[in-house]
Amino acid sequence: MFNDLANLGKYLGQAARLMVGMPDYDTYVEHMRGKHPDLPVMSYEEFFRERQEARYGGGKGKTFRCC
């Protein structure tokens, strides 16, 4: 029963992050290790920064945009 509740919590947390545009880091790592084992896996900080830049712009000479 507690295992089911833990899984439910994990999935709800993942859904909440996706709703605000923040993909799950654990899912990213699992995907990279399974599908692209020859490529390096970003650290959590790199992943977070890359996802923010992809969603909101900015970085590498781009201007920041809100919407």
pLDDT tens for 20-51 read: 666 788 889 999 999 999 999 999 999 988 88
Tell me phi and psi for residue 15, to 5 degrees. Answer: -65, -40
Residues paired with 59 in a beta bridge: 62
Classify residue 39 by its DSSP letter: S
Tell me phi and psi for residue 63, to 5 degrees. Answer: -85, 150
The set of residues, in sequence order, having a beta carbon less than 8 Å from that of 27 and lying 6+ positions away, is: 14
Residues paired with 62 in a beta bridge: 59
CB-based contact 38:32 (threshold 8 Å): no
pLDDT tens for 52-67 read: 888 777 666 655 555 5
